[in-house]
């Protein structure tokens, strides 16, 4: 998308996984996953329950600690309006409006700055 120019064709074709590649990946995962004994499964289940309890306890403590004071409503008093006037004076005279036409070179669409993956 970053390298596309106006009026160019964009391809939105999605690559789908074929059932054959899915089966291969499934077999690889099954071979590398160790099987646990009944005792190992029970221990793992108990540890998961303890971990869930600890996480829930910490979340509850954080909820109790998070007391946010309400944000006071802004004051639009004379001090505010004087400050706003002073800032407007610092900015200088207002910018004059103008009309015109801006032309951009077509080389911009294919420039390195738009297509370089290292450029954010």
Dihedral sign (CA 72, 74, 75, 79): positive
Mean pLDDT (whole number) for 85-111: 88
pLDDT of residue 12 exceeding 80, the answer is no
Mean pLDDT (whole number) for 90-110: 87
Q: Which of 8-22, 44-58, 78-92, 103-117 has the lowest mean pLDDT?
A: 8-22
Per DSSP, 87 falls in state H
- Tens-digit pLDDT profile for residues 40-74: 889 999 999 999 999 999 988 888 777 677 788 88
Instruction: Share the mean pLDDT of the chain.
Output: 80
SS3 65: helix
73 against 23, higher pLDDT = 73
- The ranges assigned to domains in the chain are 36-63
pTM value? 0.30
Non-local (6+) Cβ contacts of 85 within 8 A are: none
């Amino acid at each position: 998308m970053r390298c596309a120019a106006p009026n160019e064709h964009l391809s939105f074709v999605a690559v789908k996984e074929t059932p054959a590649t899915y089966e291969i990946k499934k077999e690889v995962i099954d071979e590398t996953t160790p099987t646990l004994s009944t005792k190992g499964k029970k221990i793992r289940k108990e540890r998961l329950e303890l971990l869930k309890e600890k996480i829930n306890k910490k979340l509850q403590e954080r909820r109790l600690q998070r007391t946010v004071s309400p944000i006071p409503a802004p004051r639009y008093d004379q001090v505010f309006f004087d400050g706003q006037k002073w800032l407007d004076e610092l900015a200088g005279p207002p910018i004059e409006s103008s009309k015109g036409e801006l032309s951009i070179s077509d080389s911009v669409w294919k420039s390195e700055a738009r297509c370089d993956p290292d450029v954010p």
